Amino acid sequence: MAEESFLTDDFLDQLISVGEVDILVGVPTHNNAKTIGSIVETIQAGILTFFPRDRAAIINADGGSRDGTRQLVVSAAIGDAQSSSKLYALRTLRSISTEYASSPASGTALRTILAAAELLRAKACAVISPESTQVTADWLAALLRPVYAETFDLVLPTYRRHRFDGILLTNLLYPMTRAVYGLRIREPYALEFAFSGRLGSQFLAENAWHGETARAGSEMQFTLAAIAGGYRICQSFLGAKEHVGRRSADLVPALRQTVGALFSSLEPNFSVWNTRTGSQPIPTTGAKQEFSLEPLRVKRKGLREMFSTGVAELESVFQSILSPSTLAELQRIAGLEEASFCYSAELWVKTVYEFAAAYHKSVISRDHIIQALAPLFRGRAFTFLMENRNGSAADVEDNIEALCLEFERMKPYLLKIWNGRE
């Protein structure tokens, strides 16, 4: 139990008083007073409804909230959930809160939850984001049952999303993870997921919990570790997910914690992915993915402008990362009018693969490589918006599928440039 050392004595005492549990639900928080009360109640209701005979605990890992989030978690009494849902627990359901640091770090929050799960010998664990205001009690069942009853090791979510929501997921993370690792995982970066105690302990022991990992990106690394470790993975459809969660200004941190984690996973897992071709579907409960089509006003023009500016201003940086032909093609499209602008799937895939190879070779600072991808992603996002502005849900899905197939088709190019000079 080497992981005990970074947990506070008070937290350890509370965990010891709980004993062992069957189910653990972790909620990482930081100043989520507005939503945390209802989310904890929903979790309690979910446990009472679907796991009334099982020993369960809710663990809140807090990153230094100053708005009373922790107090709200602890004071969310089981009685509230019982009276509102008319459900009764047959076992004690404890809510424990700990402050892992004075500033938020999602990696450390996950580590705290994993360590608590290991200490409590939890059989199945779920992590619920405090920002998911649409969480329902059914989410608990959808996430935990495959682990608890069907021996899956990792359950990832699928959602009903707006067609333009999560463009980084649909245009890079999903297609590249699918092409490289050969598994069709729609949400490789998930903020709601469930896992077995076995997988949790393994990741806790093997992951390097320092530096960038401690701050962010560990959710993505968790998924990639499960894929590379050959664990049983499935997907569960949860329902609607809000389409406006993060602002576009958050793009660089988002790239760091997802694309950075994906690129850095390629090196240690080379033997896992270099021989895989094509991709396989994974067991999925409910819909694979759903798209909502309600109208959305989006700043398309700004995306293209930032792409063009980025290509012009970062030429010296791109010369270190991209091949001359790719850079020349990017410079050509950067000069096109809005109406004729098209960042094709083939060029996008080539760009991403060349970035991955440059990251592997550390041609410049790795963080700079990730930052340099941001303006190019904006260009691709613009094309995606234009291509799908009048499309139906099926059209959007077809476009994403075509991009995925392009990523798979061009995987030999990634292998070629991985160690080569090109």
Partner 1 sequence: MWKMIVSELTQAMQELARGFAHILPRIIVVVIMALVGWAVAYFLKVILRSLLRLIKFDKLSENAGASQLLTKASLPSATDLLCRFVFWVAWLGFILLGVRVLGIVGLQEQIAKFFLFLPRLFVALLIMFFGLLLATFLSRAALLAAVNANSPSPRLLSVSVRTIIIIFVLSMAFEELGVAEQTVLVAFGVAFGALMLGLAIAFGTGGKELAQQFLEKRFGQERKDEGKEDELSPL
Taking the complex as a whole, the smallest distance from the CB of residue 253 to partner 1 amounts, in Å, to 10
Residue 167 lies near partner 1 (rule: CB under 8 A): yes
Name which of 96 and 376 has its Cβ closer to partner 1. Answer: 376
CA distance 20 to 119: 8
Residue 375 lies near partner 1 (rule: CB under 8 A): yes
Residue 362 lies near partner 1 (rule: CB under 8 A): yes
Taking the complex as a whole, the smallest distance from the CB of residue 169 to partner 1 amounts, in Å, to 6
Name which of 107 and 375 has its Cβ closer to partner 1. Answer: 375
Taking the complex as a whole, the smallest distance from the CB of residue 364 to partner 1 amounts, in Å, to 6
The one segment of 142-150, 166-174, 228-236, 347-355 that binds partner 1 by CB under 8 A: 166-174
Residue 317 lies near partner 1 (rule: CB under 8 A): yes
Residue 310 lies near partner 1 (rule: CB under 8 A): yes
Name which of 345 and 381 has its Cβ closer to partner 1. Answer: 381
List the one residue from 92, 103, 309, 392 that touches partner 1 (CB under 8 A). 309
List Cα–Cα distances, 339 to 298, 307, 335, 383, in angstroms: 16, 15, 12, 10
Provide the 10 A C-beta neighbour count for residue 20. Answer: 11
Residue 183 lies near partner 1 (rule: CB under 8 A): no
If you ran DSSP here, which 8-state letter would residue 149 be given? T
The one segment of 60-68, 342-350, 366-374, 406-414 that binds partner 1 by CB under 8 A: 366-374
Q: Indicate the residue type of 316.
A: S
- Backbone φ and ψ for 159, nearest 5 degrees, come out as -130, 170
Name which of 21 and 381 has its Cβ closer to partner 1. Answer: 381
List the one residue from 169, 176, 199, 396 that touches partner 1 (CB under 8 A). 169
Taking the complex as a whole, the smallest distance from the CB of residue 302 to partner 1 amounts, in Å, to 8
Provide the 10 A C-beta neighbour count for residue 92. Answer: 12
Taking the complex as a whole, the smallest distance from the CB of residue 105 to partner 1 amounts, in Å, to 18
List the one residue from 119, 126, 372, 410 that touches partner 1 (CB under 8 A). 372
Q: Would you call 152 exposed, middle or buried from its count of C-beta atoms within 10 A (0-12, 13-18, 19+)?
A: buried
Residue 368 lies near partner 1 (rule: CB under 8 A): yes
* CA R_g for the chain: 22
**Size, binding site for partner 1 by CB under 8 A:** 42
Beta bridge partners of 290: 160
The encoded tokens of residue 82 equal: 């019982």
List the one residue from 74, 101, 314, 405 that touches partner 1 (CB under 8 A). 314
Provide the 10 A C-beta neighbour count for residue 129. Answer: 21
Name which of 16 and 240 has its Cβ closer to partner 1. Answer: 240
Contact 385, 298 (CB under 8 A): yes
Taking the complex as a whole, the smallest distance from the CB of residue 161 to partner 1 amounts, in Å, to 9
CA distance 81 to 79: 5
Please name the residue that has the structure tokens 């506070």. 8
Q: Indicate the residue type of 122.
A: A
Beta bridge partners of 59: 26, 96
List Cα–Cα distances, 411 to 175, 376, 381, 422, in angstroms: 11, 20, 22, 15
Residue 224 lies near partner 1 (rule: CB under 8 A): no
Residue 371 lies near partner 1 (rule: CB under 8 A): yes
Residue 306 lies near partner 1 (rule: CB under 8 A): yes
Taking the complex as a whole, the smallest distance from the CB of residue 378 to partner 1 amounts, in Å, to 9
Name which of 66 and 297 has its Cβ closer to partner 1. Answer: 297
Residues sharing a CB contact under 8 Å with residue 346, sequence separation 6 or more, in sequence order: 406, 410
Size of the chain in residues: 422
Contact 62, 163 (CB under 8 A): no
Using alpha carbons, select from 264, 185, 250, 183 the residue that is nearest to residue 217.
Answer: 264
Name which of 66 and 247 has its Cβ closer to partner 1. Answer: 247
The one segment of 83-91, 116-124, 265-273, 313-321 that binds partner 1 by CB under 8 A: 313-321
Q: Indicate the residue type of 48.
A: L
List the one residue from 47, 227, 272, 374 that touches partner 1 (CB under 8 A). 374
Q: Indicate the residue type of 292.
A: S
DSSP assignment of 49-71: HH-TTS-EEEEEEES--SSSHHH
Residue 189 lies near partner 1 (rule: CB under 8 A): yes
Residue ranges in 242-301 that form contacts with partner 1 under rule CB under 8 A: 243-252, 254-255, 258, 296-299
* Footprint on this chain of partner 1 (rule: CB under 8 A): 164-169, 189, 243-252, 254-255, 258, 296-299, 302, 306, 309-310, 313-314, 317, 362-365, 368, 371-372, 374-375, 377, 381
